Chain A
């Protein structure tokens, strides 16, 4: 049953969304160009100013007294504390793209229940548009998603420097069992054709903020923006300009840390020999992403001799993500050994307090070796990172690239892994 608060929230957003444009700004001529527009002053009688000034002083004194009394009674105002992340559970509900085209975009979006296998709802993309991907709220929330849809089709040959905007953003809320199990609301985030292609998005745990990473190898630029989900306002924008193709750094794997205090991201160098996880506080000023953020973890590996990867070859971590409590990096590595056609993977946690002592927190049991990563221009990997190094994630084994998929669900915590069950999803190319 949807709560009354959610009904109010939904109704207010729907009503606000009815206003789609405002009239142009009407500014008067600049004050520096014109003389004062106030009426000419009348001659004042002496001491007439005393009465209002006395009244004002009395009012101010009374107000100060009231404030003191109120403060004493209610205590000082305590600054807002970040919400503690929700305990990790396997995300039961998912949103998936269907019928992907060559761009990796989809004409249809469906919301489903991985336990019952039922479809909660399906949405067709508006005419001329296609869905690019979805991102769930952090901390294992499987009820709140942001969906991106591109409003224009890129035409072949897809030059890497092409922009792919404009796009529209939607808030998708699932409330299974209620009268309205699914609601999709268009967000007021402004987008333009000049926006860079979106590479990653992350919704904060409380669903208030959306972090969007975008980048383009042609312009050598990577952007990180934070939008208010409620108002669509751009709260922050940082940019990183790469010096050249060989030192190109790719921004990826966004995650929210400590509620909605900071955004963490992975930087992978173009030659794949170095990676960093950085954190930028939402309150950080400036527009330079590298200057505003700080490194919380990094790793460098030498290139293998003659490019041959063996079991002993050091590897960078895949999907390196800072946990929601900011205490560890969680990522995966392939375990290469002789005779393994497909190397099995392990999930590793690097505690930031002692990064030299990583811990294997989960091994993907063979033959479940294929982890579906997100298909499409935006989204997050099929990994839900929560506090205290507890992760829930899904392995997807497919027979071919299309057709029914089997999800094997696991939850891992503190070195143990527990299989929760399996589910089947039909005709799906991406899962969250």
Chain B
């Protein structure tokens, strides 16, 4: 490898780093919020987002175009969340998590109604929660959510409807 090749490789790597950093500045917060809603844990959400960007950095050359990067990142974050949820041994994923220790902030920010809804959403199975987040936080259509979750539109519709019903039931039980 001569010096010219090394320099051009360095320049290309710098360019990739710059582009990934710019993407991070533009999208990291919204992706971290998405992961937070999925995982309920701030630190874990940020780790998933870091991993997604690191994955993007390593696989930059495999991207069809830079425009595809945001879509890739979102899919990667959702995959990371699914993996993290599978890793958890207990089904009640939010019990005793760090987020509950931060409840003073949550108390100050959320209304009583919002806290009740969030507690119910956190008790949902991962797939139903994902459907809710995609449909009601990202405002995706059923088709878009189906493509993102890689399931049929009917499955999204059913998961969303069950999730809403379950949240309603839990709110009723809690009141």
Contacts and interface: CB of A to CB of B under 8 A. Distances in A.
A and B bound?
yes
Given A22-B28, A74-B153, A14 B110 contact: yes
A30 B54 CA distance: 11
Interface string B77-110: 0000000000000000000000000000110011
Contacts of B37: 12, 15-16
Interface in A26-81: 26-28, 30-33, 70, 74, 77-80
Nearest to B8: A32
Most buried by B among A5, A20, A28: A5
Contact of A30 (B13, B53, B121): B13
B137 A27 contact: no
A78 B154 CA distance: 12
A290 B65 CA distance: 23
B139 A70 contact: no
Question: Dominant SS at the B interface?
Answer: helix
B20 A12 contact: no
Given A70-B152, A229-B139, A16 B114 contact: no
Contacts of A190: 26
Contacts of A32: 9-10, 12-13
Contacts of A14: 109-111, 114
A234 B118 CA distance: 27
Contacts of B153: 74, 77-78
B52 to A, nearest CB: 11
A54 B133 CA distance: 38
A371 B12 CA distance: 57
A4 B164 contact: yes
B29 interface: yes
Contact of B13 (A25, A33, A80): A33
Contacts of B16: 30
B72 interface: no
Nearest to B23: A25
Nearest to B67: A285
A356 interface: no
Contacts of A8: 117, 121, 132, 136, 164, 167
B53 A27 contact: yes
Given A8-B167, A80-B141, A231-B138, A180 B36 contact: no
Contacts of A207: 139
Contacts of A16: 33-34, 36-37, 137
A188 B10 contact: no
Interface in A100-122: none
Contacts of B121: 8, 11-12
Nearest to A71: B152
Contacts of A195: none
Nearest to B43: A23
Interface string B118-137: 10010000000000110011
A23 B141 CA distance: 31
Contacts of B105: 18
A19 B136 contact: no
Contacts of B168: 4
B98 to A, nearest CB: 13
B118 A11 contact: yes
Contacts of B144: 80
B172 to A, nearest CB: 10
A99 interface: no
7 contacts: A15-B110, A16-B34, A19-B36, A25-B50, A27-B54, A30-B13, A229-B139
Nearest first, the 8 closest Cβ-Cβ pairs linking A and B are A30-B13, A11-B117, A16-B33, A32-B9, A32-B13, A231-B30, A11-B114, A80-B141
